[in-house]
Amino acid sequence: MASSRRALQSVLGFNRVIWTGRRSFGAVPQGSAYSSSQTLINSEYEHSAHNYHPIPIVFSQAKGSCIWDPEGNRYLTFLQLTLLLTLSSRAFYNDRFPVFAEYLTSMFDYDMVLPMNTGAEAVETALKLSRKWGYYCLMLWLLPWSHTLAVISMSCDNEATRGFWPLVPGHLKVDFGDANGDRIAGFLLNPFKERLGYVIIPPDGYLKSVRDLCTKYNILMIDDEIQSGLARSGRMLACDWEEVKPRCSGRFFVILGKALGGGVIPVSAVLADKDIMLCIPPGEHGSTFGGNPLASAVSIASLDVIRDERLAERSAQMGEELRNQLNKIQQKYPNYIKEVRGRGLFNAVELNSKNLSPVSAYDICLKLKERGVLAKPTHDTIIRLTPPLSISLEELEEGSKAISDVLEHDLPKMQKEKPENISSTASNICVTVVDETCTDSSNGNL
């Protein structure tokens, strides 16, 4: 898509120029609404969390040991920041982040944003916010988060926790609807169960039921949209499938990542209202590069592309077409394909392990690679299909045909050639002993 390329090339273009002479990260043009230092400082104060108390200088350009603000005032820096200007610390202001903060909060109708770098970092930030605001964090039983130790400690998926005991304490895990008591602060969930490749769509009405329960008991509903958000699901946010309105009642905040950086740089963000964000004063939470000017500029370009090219609508349309093609393949090979599921361009094909044996999803994906198509195998029987939002109809048909051809031509040969006792994936057995009271970590007992 031409405008997608132009938007990101404009960001990368200035990045190439940065390293010759005076450095700039796309400073706001004079005469614009953001051309003065005070306007930028006021905008950042209004639209972002107050976890920093920066010195009131706005970085706009730099050369050698000197920094210039939007008004052209020169400052000599003893902080080694000019060489890192595009990734400068939030100890000072820059002229890109306030623009990004106002844009993002306006787009999703929130008061404030807290910028981070990675999805796991943003989830940890959400946990700190909810704990500061309340007490325990209630974690949904079916969600297999899989990054940092604190994050996997919330998971009830053995594959996420196996081999990493002892886990971080302080999380309450319950089946949906079993929560009671007055010390539950937050309910963290993915709108789709996409972690570790499952791609399971919740029953109709589930997200609204969660929202109603959180509203009733004044619980934070924490919506992890790192993978499913920003048009991937066929909606701007996956929770929009049930029209779970964040601002209509109760407390709600959203975690964004991945697509926010446009495939150029890691960017993540937590969106919430002031009564939640202002629970953390300056100095209690930080991220050296969170909200840096390069990431902010890239994120603005990425959001422009998603909005201007109507990628959420495109994802819904192309995803429906992809599932139609996959369902036809399932009808042709019902013994091999157990289920096709997904929303937008977030999809999975679950294979029938009994009829597939000894071949795994990994083997199928290797054959797809030979036919020029890349897909992700998970859990031996699941093939995850998340093509770019810019994919064409012809390319969807090409990928679907490759899947059909593998099942028709390659799978029978592989079943004959591969011994029953050979596995293409790593063993799932791992016993970790952390002390004399610890048992097999796969069952979660201590």
Helix (H) or strand (E) holding 59: strand 55-59
Instruction: Give me the residues paired with residue 341 across strands.
Output: 348
Asked if residue 363 is part of any domain, the answer here is: yes
User: For residue 142, what pLDDT is reported?
Assistant: 42
Cis peptide before 166 (omega within 30 of 0): yes
Q: Could you tell me the sign of the dihedral formed by the alpha carbons of 216, 220, 223, 224, in that order?
A: negative
Is the pLDDT assigned to residue 103 strictly greater than 90?
yes
Comparing 261 with 439, the larger pLDDT belongs to: 261
* Structure tokens given for 341: 């599921």
Report pLDDT digits (tens) over 411-436: 999 999 877 655 555 433 333 222 33
User: Hey, what long-range contacts does 433-439 have (CB within 8 A, 24 or more apart)?
Assistant: 434/165, 434/166, 438/165, 438/166
Q: Which residue has the tokens 């930028």?
A: 40
Is the pLDDT assigned to residue 367 strictly greater than 60?
yes
* Structure tokens given for 272: 């919430």
Count of domains forming the chain? 1
* Structure tokens given for 443: 């069952």
Report pLDDT digits (tens) over 29-59: 455 667 799 999 999 999 999 998 888 999 9
Instruction: Give me the residues paired with residue 41 across strands.
Output: none
Asked if residue 142 is part of any domain, the answer here is: no
Is the pLDDT assigned to residue 397 strictly greater than 60?
yes
User: For residue 283, what pLDDT is reported?
Assistant: 87
Asked if residue 159 is part of any domain, the answer here is: no
Q: Which residue has the tokens 């077409």?
A: 321
* Structure tokens given for 57: 């200088």
Asked if residue 390 is part of any domain, the answer here is: yes
CA dihedral 306, 307, 311, 317 (to 10 degrees): 170
First-to-last alpha carbon distance for the chain, in angstroms, is 53
Asked if residue 327 is part of any domain, the answer here is: yes
Runs of H (alpha helix) within 258-392: 274-277, 293-308, 311-332, 353-356, 361-370
pLDDT band at residue 88, thresholds of 50, 70 and 90?
Answer: low
Is the pLDDT assigned to residue 258 strictly greater than 90?
yes
User: For residue 86, what pLDDT is reported?
Assistant: 66
Could you give the strand order of the β-sheet that contains 346-351, starting from the edge strand earlier in sequence? 337-343, 346-351, 382-385, 376-378
Q: What is the DSSP letter of 106?
A: H
Asked if residue 351 is part of any domain, the answer here is: yes
Is the pLDDT assigned to residue 19 strictly greater than 50?
no
SS3 330: helix
User: What single letter denotes the amino acid at residue 153?
Assistant: S
Nearest-10 crossing angle of helices 2-18, 293-308: 170
Q: In the predicted model, what is the mean pLDDT of the chain? A: 81
Percent helix, percent strand, percent coil in the chain, to nearest 5: 40, 15, 45
Q: Which residue has the tokens 């008991």?
A: 217
Helix (H) or strand (E) holding 206: helix 206-216
User: For residue 371, what pLDDT is reported?
Assistant: 97
Range with the poorest average pLDDT among 78-92, 114-128, 171-185, 326-340? 171-185
What span, in angstroms and rounded, lies between the C-alpha atoms of 344 and 225? 14
Runs of H (alpha helix) within 48-136: 97-108, 119-133
Range with the poorest average pLDDT among 357-361, 368-372, 436-440? 436-440
User: Which residues span the domain enclosing 347?
Assistant: 311-417
pLDDT band at residue 437, thresholds of 50, 70 and 90?
Answer: very low
Asked if residue 380 is part of any domain, the answer here is: yes
Mind giving me the DSSP string for 356-395? HTT--HHHHHHHHHHTT---EEETTTEEEE---TT--HHH
Q: What is the mean pLDDT of residues 208-217?
A: 86
Helix (H) or strand (E) holding 292: none
User: For residue 197, what pLDDT is reported?
Assistant: 63
Counting residues of the chain whose pLDDT is more than 90, the rounded percentage is 50
Residues sharing a CB contact under 8 Å with residue 232, sequence separation 6 or more, in sequence order:
238, 259, 315, 344, 345, 346, 386, 389
Asked if residue 92 is part of any domain, the answer here is: no
What span, in angstroms and rounded, lies between the C-alpha atoms of 88 and 194? 34
* Structure tokens given for 329: 């393949």
Comparing 172 with 141, the larger pLDDT belongs to: 172
Indicate which CATH number applies to the domain containing 380. Answer: 3.90.1150.10
Highest mean pLDDT among 15-29, 33-47, 292-306: 292-306
Instruction: Give me the residues paired with residue 200 across strands.
Output: 193
User: For residue 443, what pLDDT is reported?
Assistant: 38
Comparing 367 with 435, the larger pLDDT belongs to: 367
Comparing 363 with 287, the larger pLDDT belongs to: 363
Q: Where are the beta strands (DSSP E) in 104-203?
A: 112-116, 136-140, 171-174, 184-189
